[in-house]
Structure 1
């Protein structure tokens, strides 16, 4: 899997630094952060990277069971993220600021109304929580199948074929 740059947190440090370039308080009460994680690739060539993210806190009422919410808290700290990332490779150093600003401006022009919609938070939760719960159920099923395979292997290991 390819490396995806994420902003630094108390528990995570990215492979290369990024810079928070803009914070917008949206009319729906959410906060949009825009990060520049551009870096030099070789010579005068750059990777231009922009990450837009919105953090959304999630409560127990959005989950099918209290156990799912507890697991969600353990794995995510109780938040989900909307994230949009755009990259351009091998950009000339002289064009790097202009390319980043163009990427940012096009994103804001295309997505700001959508991200500012009053129901954006609820729609994000309605799409992300079922994905999380499906992932948890799938992991549990895989764990059960592995345990059953190990049990059968132990049961049949000394029997002749």
Structure 2
């Protein structure tokens, strides 16, 4: 795992970009890009205090946004080019959305919806609520 760069977004969040590529044969590589970002929950992101408290109880004070993109069977000589293309595509397609002021709120609300839709996964952390 090799750290490539950090990207500071207009909304104050920071993306951490990693190259987790690995050799799969003598002349081929699985090129994989991983991008992570911590999003802290804030009570103002939720409609009700109970939603905020449940979300924190399940995920803690911070949730992790993660994006992964890979290409398999890339020739050794093309590894850097493919990795750069994956990162450029991410920057072009995802950065405008991730950098929006409302992204942390929408992401936090999506974590609460995840709890509601998949309550059985989190019942041990939710208790009797």
What TM-score comes out, normalization by structure 2 length?
A: 0.80
How many aligned residue pairs are there?
Answer: 120
Are 1:60 and 1:69, in contact at CA under 8 Å, matched by a contact in 2? no
Residue equivalent to 1:13: none
> Does residue 124 of structure 2 align to residue 138 of structure 1?
no
Q: Distance in 1 between matches of 2:51 and 2:90?
A: 37
Deviations 1:117-159 (A, max 9, x none): 1111111111112212443x32449xxxxxxxxxxxxxxxxxx
Are 2:20 and 1:37 aligned?
Answer: yes
Structure 1 gap segments, 5+ residues each: 1-17, 142-161
Structure 1 residues 109, 103: CA separation in 2 closer, same or farther (over 3 Å shift)? same
How far the C-alpha of 1:64 sits from its partner, in A, is 2.5
How far apart, CA to CA, are the structure 2 residues paired with 1:55 and 1:93? 32
1:85 and 2:71 equivalent? no
Choose between structure 1 and 2 for higher RCO, CA contacts under 8 A separated by at least 6 residues: 2
Tell me the residue number matched to 1:64: 50
Residue number in structure 2 paired with 1:148: none
The answer to whether structure 1 residue 19 and structure 2 residue 2 are counterparts is yes
Counterpart Cα distance in 2 of 1:106 and 1:41: 24
Query: Which residue is 2:127 aligned to?
Result: none
Query: How far does residue 81 in structure 1 lie from its aligned partner after superposition?
Result: 2.0
The CA deviation at 1:79 is 1.4
Q: 1:67 Cα shift?
A: 6.4
Larger radius of gyration: 1
* TM-score, normalised via structure 1 length: 0.66
Moved segments of 4+, more than 6 Å? none
Measured on the aligned residues, the alpha-carbon RMSD in Å equals 2.3
Three-state SS of the structure 2 residue aligned to 1:64 is: helix
